[in-house]
Copies of this chain bind each other. A is one copy, B any other.
């Protein structure tokens, strides 16, 4: 009901009387006042006068109330050690696909290859629970799928070209704007869940802190609507999931990449591989043609490339 009260206040430009709200939502005026106070406690600034209620501003927090229609699937926390941990517990307990854990801050954010992930204020730190109907061998493609969904959302919302770098970074003008981490639990024939962690440099100040990184705030010169970006990214991921089992995700990744055709050096578990990135395979492995003409299949690692 709190969400309905907020929605009604948002839809109304001036003051909305307690009586009108009470009638519209079918609850008492005392109940209306109770929900308004709850919203104020969350940081919503609501002017209260004899004419009624007026929503003056919303807090810059990714509260469930910011996602009309999705409230029940969102788990918002002020500080998490890592959103991956809470999402894992929820997924193991049977949480539906689409369950979303969002943290304003992370005390122990993690990136790929066991690295720590710096979670500066203003960024977006979230983990989405997915349950794709895919085989365990196909599911890792979700790394590419999410990179594609993020770059697509950024391009459509802000009109700036965002590109993907193997395996799953999103870059703008060669600087990293988003990191992705996937975590899978599977059996021989079926995936139980794949949780997708997304760290997005939205309204954070990162350029001076992290080499090679940039935020949307720094690129656009103004803060972005984080809730809208979250919604766009999550919808982009969920709508692409049915395509995880065919090759169209690979094709979409190819059309958005800055990696293919470039000189790269990949530091993997084994020896480093240097050469030209010629393509990616069906499972998302990078195919690198070395100087001697031999093509190496690199399944995981860190990709360094000279130009973007």
Q: Which of A71-79, A134-142, A170-178 contacts B (4 or more CB under 8 A)?
A: A134-142
Q: A187-B182, A189-B300, A300-B189 are in contact. Are A269 and B133 (CB under 8 A)?
A: yes
Task: Tell me which residues from 160 to 207 in chain A have a Cβ below 8 Å from any Cβ of chain B.
Answer: 167-168, 180-190
Interface size class of A (residues with CB under 8 A): 20 to 34
A36-52 vs B, Cβ < 8 Å mask (1 yes, 0 no): 00000000000000000
A300: chain B residues at CB < 8 Å are: 135, 188-190
Chain B residues with Cβ below 8 Å from A168 are 188
Q: With A189-B301, A283-B283 in contact, do A184 and B112 touch (Cβ < 8 Å)?
A: no
Provide the A255-290 mask, 1 if CB < 8 A to any CB of B, else 0.
Answer: 000000000000001000000000000011100000
- With an 8 A cutoff between CB atoms, is A299 at the interface? yes
Task: Evaluate contact between B187 and A183: CB separation under 8 angstroms.
Answer: yes
Determine the distance from Cα of A27 to Cα of B114 in the docked complex, in whole angstroms.
47
Q: Tell me, in angstroms, the Cα distance from A300 to B245 when the chains sit together.
A: 12
The one of B114, B143, B245, B299 that contacts A138, using a Cβ cutoff of 8 Å: B299
Q: Given A269-B133, A283-B137, A299-B135, A184–B182 Cβ distance below 8 Å?
A: no
Instruction: Please tell me if A113 contacts chain B, counting CB pairs below 8 Å.
Output: yes
Residues of B within 8 A of A143 (CB): 188
Whether B183 and A184, one on each chain, are in contact in the complex, defined by CB atoms closer than 8 angstroms, is no
Beta-carbon contact of B181 and A184 below 8 Å: no
Interface code A110-143, partner B: CB below 8 Å = 1, 0 otherwise? 0011100000000000000000010111111001
Copies per assembly: 2
Contacts of A138 in B (CB 8 A): 299
- In the assembled complex, the Cα of A124 lies from the Cα of B242 at a distance in Å of 39
Which of B181, B186, B245, B283 is the one whose CB lies under 8 Å from A188?
A: B181
The reply to whether A137 and B299 contact each other, CB–CB distance below 8 Å, is yes
- Cβ contact within 8 Å between B183 and A186: yes
- Distance A185 CA – B135 CA, assembled complex (angstroms): 14
Contacts of A182 in B (CB 8 A): 187-188
CB distance from A213 to the nearest CB of B (A): 19
Which chain B residue shows the least CB distance to A298?
B135
**Chain B residues near A269 (CB-CB < 8 A):** 133
When chains A and B are docked, how far (Å) is the Cα of A56 from the Cα of B86? 55
Q: Which of B137, B139, B186 contacts A284 (CB 8 A)?
A: B137
Please, which residue of chain B has its CB at the minimum distance from the CB of A146? B188
Residues A186 and B189 in contact in the complex (CB < 8 Å), given A137-B283, A138-B299: no
Most central of A182, A245, A300 by chain B CB within 10 Å: A300
Most-contacted residue by chain B among A143, A181, A188, A269 (CB, 10 A): A188
A235 to chain B, nearest CB (A): 22
